[in-house]
């Protein structure tokens, strides 16, 4: 099913019947992706008057509660409230959900013993393209990204200057297949977060960072229409379901 969308005075044709889901779900039936030293998420039937409320146990409905942290257990989108004293809500500050995005694949390089995404790599990939969002797929891109246990592994991250470059280029929405854009243990500096949200100047309230995505290998680099859907939690971060649509040329 094709649709024509007018975006910034440009008519874009997409096939809405072919969405590309790049989110990672919470799945307690297998090893769930995890970071930041927390236990696994839990989905469990609530107990009322000593009885578990599930159809399997004889109830007429399933009535599950979910215990999780969006930063640790699921694809999530966060705003500047993640690092400010005042907890700004991503649900309040993300006002638009369709964005012109560029998907790029990056092989991290080693700097001072860490694997990082460097500015020169993004400059080569983006060149003079005008985009609202950038989606970074890192190599190697294995299926185990969807169940990786990241705590105490010092995963790949963005250099501070790389985040400055994205901010200066006008990128509003950054999506990565990593647990964080910053180094796991950096003495609380959070250099890339602070640079991207411009905490030394006017805060970029409408800018977001989405972490823990997974882009399948058969999805080609290039231009897409991104639908950045978030759950309506009034919090600095919320579970999200970013969807890509290939743009018909």
- What is the residue-level pLDDT of the chain in tens, covering all 249 positions? 888 988 888 899 999 999 999 999 999 999 999 999 999 999 999 999 889 999 999 999 999 999 999 999 999 999 999 999 999 999 999 999 999 999 999 999 999 999 999 999 999 999 999 999 999 999 999 999 999 999 999 999 999 999 999 999 999 999 999 999 999 999 999 999 999 999 999 999 999 999 999 999 999 999 999 999 999 999 999 999 999 999 997
Neighbours of 189 (CB within 10 A): 11
Rounded Cα gap, residues 208 and 211, in angstroms: 10
Rounded Cα gap, residues 86 and 71, in angstroms: 18
Neighbours of 227 (CB within 10 A): 17
Which residues are bridge partners to 113 per DSSP?
Answer: none
Looking at the whole model, is its pTM more than 0.95? yes
CA nearest neighbour of 180 among 87, 103, 82: 82
- What is the pLDDT, as a whole number, of residue 218? 97
- What is the pLDDT, as a whole number, of residue 69? 98
**CATH of region 2-27+70-248:** 3.50.30.50
Per-domain residue ranges for the chain?
2-27+70-248
């Amino acid at each position: 099913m094709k649709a024509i969308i007018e975006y910034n005075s440009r008519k874009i044709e997409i096939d809405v019947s072919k969405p590309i889901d790049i989110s990672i779900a919470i799945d307690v039936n297998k090893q769930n992706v995890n970071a930041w030293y927390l236990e696994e998420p839990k989905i469990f039937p609530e107990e009322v008057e000593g009885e578990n409320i599930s159809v399997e146990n004889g109830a007429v409905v399933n009535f599950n509660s979910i215990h999780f942290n969006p930063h640790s257990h699921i694809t999530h989108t966060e705003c500047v409230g993640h690092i400010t004293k005042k907890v700004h809500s991503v649900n309040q500050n993300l006002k638009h959900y369709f964005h012109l995005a560029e998907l790029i694949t990056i092989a991290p390089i080693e700097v001072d013993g860490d694997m990082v995404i460097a500015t020169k790599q993004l400059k080569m990939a983006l060149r003079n393209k005008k985009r609202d969002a950038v989606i970074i797929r890192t190599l190697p891109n294995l299926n185990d990204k969807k169940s990786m246990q990241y705590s105490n592994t010092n995963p790949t991250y963005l250099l501070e200057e790389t985040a400055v470059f994205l901010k200066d280029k006008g990128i509003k929405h950054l999506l990565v297949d990593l647990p964080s854009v910053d180094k796991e243990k950096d003495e609380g500096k959070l250099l890339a977060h602070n640079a991207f949200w411009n905490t030394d100047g006017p805060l970029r309230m409408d800018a977001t960072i989405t972490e823990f995505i997974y882009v399948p290998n058969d999805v080609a680099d290039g231009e897409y229409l991104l639908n950045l859907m978030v759950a309506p939690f009034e919090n600095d971060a919320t579970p999200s379901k970013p969807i890509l649509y290939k743009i018909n040329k």
